[in-house]
């Protein structure tokens, strides 16, 4: 197997096989790959990371495909990290986005990678940000992260991207779907898809009214969130969306608001990485000490809270984890 460190320069040269291998190793959580991923992180930071989310059925994947085509016409290289639901059998991604983006498969300026959530909370695959770094270093100008779809807690995308686009659609049974669970607040750009439908105006009006009410109580910001209607069927609204993305990119990289956002992204990345390392350490330590504690719990010689505290202390102790004192 090629050492991960030997792949870094090949990734930087844009070699597709090396990109794929590094992303796979990031997904696998291979400790061997971590020094290489650290080097890649140090080199990254140039790409514009666009997060795209929305309720299921809102047309996210179609929007990603069309947006990719417009970015390519503008001369940009585009990476897409499409986070799909996990298969209940294999644990792998469903790969639906690769089917929808078939027109871009042969384009050397587009790299598409599907990732399984593998049970990750927040709508984000664990290795998604590593994949963004890899594509960044490989020379992709814009990297789009498409999440599974927003639910009651799937808003992490706003803490991982420079620009967050929330997609809504008319006729989904709830005309203000995007207002649920803080979704209104996470958007830098609101998109209403399928605006060739007769009931689209109601969704557009609802969003604009809610944003106006929010603006009355919010501090004056460097960015006013636009609501953009799109129709993939008629090909309408995409130039407006492209302009909004370009304008927000300048906010993200050239203003104090953007600097604060990048700092928040860094903190999110730090905490998520620490969480991963903590879980790995706990899993190694718990393997040798959980059995006797589980036996005590099954005979009710203790309670779940007390014994779980004992498990944490023993599993994370240096002697259990193999860490030095």
pLDDT at 101: 61
Name 229's bridge partners: 192
Structural domain boundaries in the chain: 1-42, 44-254, 271-321
pLDDT at 153: 47
Q: Is residue 88 scored above 50 in pLDDT?
A: no
Q: Is residue 36 scored above 90 in pLDDT?
A: yes
The Cα–Cα gap between 170 and 249 comes to: 28
Q: What is the mean pLDDT of residues 267-294?
A: 93
For 40-44, 187-191, 194-198, which range has the lowest pLDDT when averaged over its residues?
194-198
Q: What is the mean pLDDT of residues 232-236?
A: 83
User: ∠ CA 304-309-312 to the nearest 5 degrees?
Assistant: 120
Query: pLDDT tier at 72 (50, 70, 90 boundaries)?
Result: very high
Query: pLDDT tier at 324 (50, 70, 90 boundaries)?
Result: very low
The Cα–Cα gap between 166 and 276 comes to: 27
Q: Is residue 49 scored above 90 in pLDDT?
A: yes
**pTM for the predicted model, two decimal places:** 0.86
Q: What is the mean pLDDT of residues 245-267?
A: 95
Q: Which residue has the tokens 């909370």?
A: 121
**Mean pLDDT taken over the chain:** 84
Question: Is the domain defined by 44-254 classed in CATH 3.40.250.10?
Answer: no
**C-beta of residue 180 within 8 angstroms of C-beta of residue 84:** no
**C-beta of residue 45 within 8 angstroms of C-beta of residue 143:** no
How do residues 117-133 score in pLDDT, each as one tens digit? Answer: 654 444 456 789 999 99
How do residues 155-176 score in pLDDT, each as one tens digit? Answer: 788 889 999 999 888 876 554 5
Q: Dig out the tokens for 101 from the structure.
A: 């983006």
């Amino acid at each position: 197997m090629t050492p991960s460190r030997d792949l870094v320069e090949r990734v930087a040269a844009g070699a597709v096989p090396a990109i794929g291998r590094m992303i796979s190793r990031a997904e696998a959580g291979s400790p061997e790959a971590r020094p290489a991923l650290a080097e890649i992180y140090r080199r990254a930071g140039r790409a514009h990371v666009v997060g795209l989310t929305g309720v299921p059925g809102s047309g996210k994947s179609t929007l990603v495909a069309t947006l990719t085509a417009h970015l390519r016409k503008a001369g940009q290289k585009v990476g897409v990290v499409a986070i799909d639901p996990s298969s209940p059998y294999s644990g792998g991604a469903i790969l639906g986005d690769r089917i929808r983006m078939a027109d871009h498969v042969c384009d050397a300026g587009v790299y598409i990678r599907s990732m399984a959530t593998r049970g990750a909370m927040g709508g984000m695959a664990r290795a998604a940000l590593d994949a963004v770094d890899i594509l960044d270093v490989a020379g992709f100008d814009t990297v789009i992260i498409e999440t599974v779809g927003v639910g009651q807690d799937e808003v992490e995308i706003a803490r991982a991207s420079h620009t967050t686009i929330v997609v809504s659609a008319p006729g989904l049974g709830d005309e203000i779907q995007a207002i649920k669970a803080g979704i209104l607040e996470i958007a830098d750009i609101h998109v209403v898809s399928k605006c060739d439908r007769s009931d689209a105006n109601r969704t557009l009006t609802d969003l604009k009214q809610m944003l106006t009410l929010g603006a009355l109580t919010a501090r004056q910001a460097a960015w006013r969130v636009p609501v953009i209607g799109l129709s993939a069927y008629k090909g309408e609204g995409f130039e407006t969306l492209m302009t909004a993305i370009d304008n927000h990119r300048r906010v993200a990289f050239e203003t104090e608001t953007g600097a604060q956002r990048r700092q928040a992204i860094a903190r999110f990345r730090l905490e998520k990485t620490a969480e991963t390392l903590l879980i790995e350490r706990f899993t190694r330590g718990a393997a040798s000490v959980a059995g006797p504690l589980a036996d005590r719990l099954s005979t009710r010689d203790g309670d779940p809270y007390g014994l779980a505290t004992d498990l944490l202390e023993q599993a994370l102790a240096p002697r259990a984890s193999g860490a030095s004192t």
